[in-house]
Amino acid sequence: MLNHEDVAIKLEAGNTSSTHLWREAQIYERLGGCIGFPKLYWYGSHEDDNVMVIDLLGASLEQVLNLCGLKFSLKTVLMLLNQMESISRIQTLHSYYLIHRDLKPENFLLGVNGSAGILHLIDLGLSTKNIHSITGEHIPYKDGQKLVGTIHYLSCNAHMGSKEKKYRHIKKKKLHTMPAALCHGLFKEFHDFLLYTCLLAYDQDPDYHYIHNLFCVVFKMLLHKDWSWLHGKSKKTGQWCLGTNVQPVSTAFF
């Protein structure tokens, strides 16, 4: 880089039949300028590898959760939801008629330096269109599809539409765990949110305004803005949780 900034470099074997890295680079290029997505600097071939160069980001939500003793405060959770940090990234993708297909805490990363409080969505190689490019119609639902993404984060509908028997115990657990059980002890709005998402039709667009208002009710009760990793020590390590001076994580986490 001519400005000597640190970047993340993602490699893929050049002899692979996979198009994941190429697809990811194409999507980053389309999303150029959108808040909460890394900037694409270059994609091409070098020696025997396909190479993508993007912004270097900070720790993932998974890493931060571990540092904070495997528990975020209610205020932190609400800031992730009510400020639309995580949900707005999904909304942005949907506005480009794309679905991520591998949403999980490891794929939401904090920025660094001045953007430490901004959540970024990464790892778009499995993303695909949900609208037909010619007809403009929603891609129809099909049974018997191969599972795509990280198994334990897949939705019930994804498991129901697959014939892969080796994951039937995960499907059974998901199908028999009701929103009321998952949200026990939480504000009613968390239950309403989960129930709403579970009842969405396959081709139905989420009502993001409704989701925002749900958590706005709870957020106003607290009247605080305090990121867990910006203040306080990790219960697990005794060290201060990640803050605005958080160091970038290895590109291995991409």
Residues with catalytic function: 102
DSSP E strands, 92-148:
98-99, 108-110, 119-121, 128-129
C-alpha span between 199 and 155 (Å, rounded): 12
Going by C-alpha positions, the residue among 3, 59, 64 that lies closest to residue 254 is: 59
SS3 state at 41? strand
At residue 225, what is the residue type?
K
Asked if residues 36 and 92 have their Cβ atoms less than 8 Å apart, the reply is yes
- Using alpha carbons, list the distances in angstroms from residue 228 to 69, 70, 130: 10, 11, 35
Residues in the chain: 254
- Using alpha carbons, list the distances in angstroms from residue 206 to 30, 92, 165, 175: 22, 12, 30, 21
Asked if residues 160 and 172 have their Cβ atoms less than 8 Å apart, the reply is no
Sign of CA dihedral 101, 104, 106, 109: positive
Q: Which residues pair with 121 in a beta bridge?
A: 108
At residue 69, what is the residue type?
G
